[in-house]
Amino acid sequence: MKSFLTKRAYASLISLLFLVVAVFFLSRLTGDPTNLYLPVDASLEARENFRALHGLNDPLIVQFGRYLADLAMLDFGESIRRSRPALDVVLEAFEWTLILAAITMTVVTISAIVVGSLAAFRVGGLFDRTATFFSLIGASAPDFWIAIVAIVLFSVNLGWLPTSGTGTVWHWIMPIGVLFVRPFGLILQVVRGSMITALGSAYVKTARAKGVASRPIIFVHALRNAMLPVITVIGDQAAAILNGAVVVETIFGFPGVGKLMIDSILQRDFAVVLAAIMVTALAIFVMNLLIDLAYSVLDPRIRY
């Protein structure tokens, strides 16, 4: 186990490095930040001055070397747009995203497993059909649609919730609600599908035959086996939120990492882009590690 973790840590470090190299060079392909930073009518000397100040005149490989050297000292560079350390900017935003992702995924996972399993118990029954139908409609509706309709309904017309922003618990309800819809539909479907297979499989039948007849026990047996693909999808959806729930963050004015990332990409604020990617990548690596550990817990035949 310990050697597995060490190995995994090294592997992740290499992946991270690979990611940094890819992002550094690929993002540089999208042009020079000078024109974006300075007004359209800035003079040529002002542009030259800007390039010199931020070291943009050096060959790319020199810039990369400098970046790596700084990185080795845990210096992630400074945001060109914000004139502040890039890592500070990213961590401020990531804090929000992390909380949002954690709450949303917990709520989603619990409700999807409960509803999905219940649906699988009576395939084609009323509960199954209703749950499938509505979760799918929810999962396939554009999120900005749901968000704006929710604001019009709950804030403007009913006055129950604040439109946007942060501050109180009430502010979190709509963003989480909107983020909830899609992963819920997806995970519910996978849970349902897996459970149908698992409930029909030999060992559940065996369990039944052996007389472990009570529903809860069958449920637990089947669920345990059905969880493998479910966990993968949960991981995928959590990664999507950790990478930034851009649409939700944009509409609800939520200061998360997704909005920061898209803004920085569009403004060519490379230091922030790189720092944001490293922070989110690290979070995703840790999450994937947890998922792999969960695999082996659920299925003892899987060993690392």
Partner 1 sequence: MPGTKNTLHDTEETCMNIRSYLYGSAIALAVAIPAFAQDSDVTIVLNEDLETVEPCMTSQSNIGRVIQQNISETLVELNTKDGSLMPRLAESWEAVDEDTWRFALRQGVSFSDGSAFDAADVVKSYERAVSDQIVCEIGAKYFGGMTLDMEVVDDHTLEITSDPAQPILPLLMSTLTIVPSETPFEFMQQPVGTGPYEMTERNVGQNITLERRDDYWGEVPAVTKATYLFRSDDAVRAAMVATGEADIVPLIGQEQATNPATDFAYPNSETTYLRVDHGVAPLDDIRVRKAMNMAVDREAFLGTLLPQDAEAATHIVPPSTLGWNSDLSPWPYDPEQARALLEEAKADGVPVDAEITMIARIGNFPNVTEVAEALTQMFGDVGLNVDLRMYEVAEWIDLYSKPFAEGRGPSILLAMHDNSRGDPVFSMFFKYACEGLQSGFCSPELDQIMADATAATGDDRAALWKDAFAMIHNDLVADVFLFHMVGFSRVAERLDFTPTIATNSELQLAQINFK
Partner 2 sequence: MNPTPPQSAAVKEKSKFAAFWSMLLADKLALAAVIFLLIVITCAFIGPFFLEYDAGRQNLRGRNAPPFDLSRGWQFFLGGDQLGRPLLARIIVAAHNTMMVAGGSVVAAMAVGGTLGLIAGNSRGRAAQIIPRLADVIMSFPSLLLAVIVLYMLEPSVGNIIIVLAITRIPIYLRTTCAEILEVRERMFVQAAKVMGASEMRIIFRHMLPVIFPTLLTIATLDFAFVMLAESALSFLGIGIQPPEITWGLMVSQGRPYLTTAWWLSFWPGLAIVLTTLSLNLLSNWMRTALDPKQRWRLEIGDRKNG
Answer with the entry of partner 2, partner 1, none that 111 interacts with (C-beta below 5 to 8 A by kind): none
Q: Would you say 167 or 300 has its CB closer to partner 1?
A: 167
| Residue 31 C-beta: closest distance to partner 2, Å | 6
Query: Which residues of the chain form contacts with partner 2 (CB under 8 A)?
Result: 7, 11-12, 14-15, 18-19, 22-23, 26-27, 29-31, 123-124, 129, 132-133, 136-137, 139-145, 148-149, 152, 182, 185-186, 189-190, 193-194, 196-197, 200, 228-229, 231-233, 235-236, 239, 243-244, 246-247, 250, 261-262, 265-266, 273, 276-277, 280-281, 284-285, 288, 295, 299, 301-302
Answer with the entry of partner 2, partner 1, none that 126 interacts with (C-beta below 5 to 8 A by kind): none
From the number of C-beta atoms within 10 Å of its C-beta (0-12, 13-18, 19+), residue 233 rates as: middle
Q: Which helix (H) or strand (E) holds 216?
A: helix 215-242
Q: Would you say 46 or 152 has its CB closer to partner 2?
A: 152
Give one word for 32, left, alpha or beta, with left for phi > 0 and alpha for psi -120 to 50.
beta
| Residue 169 C-beta: closest distance to partner 2, Å | 27
Q: Would you say 45 or 211 has its CB closer to partner 1?
A: 45
| Residue 143 C-beta: closest distance to partner 1, Å | 12
Which one of residues 17, 102, 209, 217 is an interface residue with partner 1 (CB under 8 A)?
102
CB 192 within 8 A of CB 120: yes
By CB under 8 A, the residues from 106 to 165 that bind partner 1 are 148, 151-152, 155-156, 159, 162-165
Cα distances from 299 to residues 106, 224, 290, in angstroms, run: 22, 8, 14
How far, in Å, CA of 196 to CA of 206, rounded?
A: 16
Q: Would you say 18 or 127 has its CB closer to partner 2?
A: 18
Q: Would you say 161 or 238 has its CB closer to partner 2?
A: 238
Examine residue 43 and tell whether it contacts partner 1 (CB under 8 A): yes
By CB under 8 A, the residues from 161 to 220 that bind partner 1 are 162-170
Contact track, partner 1, 63-92, x by CB under 8 A: -------x--xxxx----xxxxx-xxx-xx
| Residue 155 C-beta: closest distance to partner 2, Å | 13
Task: Give the footprint of partner 1 on this chain (CB under 8 A).
Answer: 30-32, 35-46, 49-50, 52-53, 70, 73-76, 81-85, 87-89, 91-96, 98-99, 102, 148, 151-152, 155-156, 159, 162-170, 250-253, 255, 259-260, 266, 268
